Amino acid sequence: MLVNDDYETILDPSTNKAVRVLKDTTIRVIDFSYITFIEHRQRGERHTCMRVCPEMDLGIKWSYMADVWNIGNMLTKLYRGVWAETFQDVLRLCAKTQCQCLNVRRLACLERVIGPYPQALINKRGYFFYSNGSVNIRYCTTKEKLDEKCKPLKSMMRSNEIENRNFFDLLEQMLRHDPDQRITLPRALKHPFFDALSEEQRTLQ
168 in any annotated domain: yes
Domain assignment present for residue 12? The answer is no
Distance of CA 182 to the CA centre of its chain: 12
pLDDT, tens only, 47-96: 455 568 899 888 888 888 888 998 898 888 878 765 544 444 444 544 44
152: CATH: 1.10.510.10
Round to whole Å and give the CA distance between 198 and 15.
Answer: 36
Residue 16 in any domain: the answer is no
Measured in Å, how far apart are the chain's first and last C-alpha atoms?
20
pLDDT at 13 > cutoff 80: no
Please, which residues bridge with residue 2 across strands? 27
Q: Return d(Cα 59, Cα 10) in angstroms, integer.
A: 39
- Domain range spanning residue 129? 31-194
Cα–Cα distance measured from residue 114 to residue 109, given in angstroms and rounded to the nearest whole number: 9
| 52-57-63-66 Cα dihedral, nearest 10 degrees | -20
Strand partners, 9: 20
pTM for the whole thing?
Answer: 0.74
Domain count, the chain: 1
pLDDT of amino acid 18: 86
Q: Is residue 94 part of a domain?
A: yes
**What would the mean pLDDT of 199-204 be, rounded to a whole number?**
70
Highest mean pLDDT among 107-111, 159-163, 178-182: 178-182
Buried b (16+ CB within 10 A) or exposed e, 151-170: bebeebbeeeeeebeebbeb
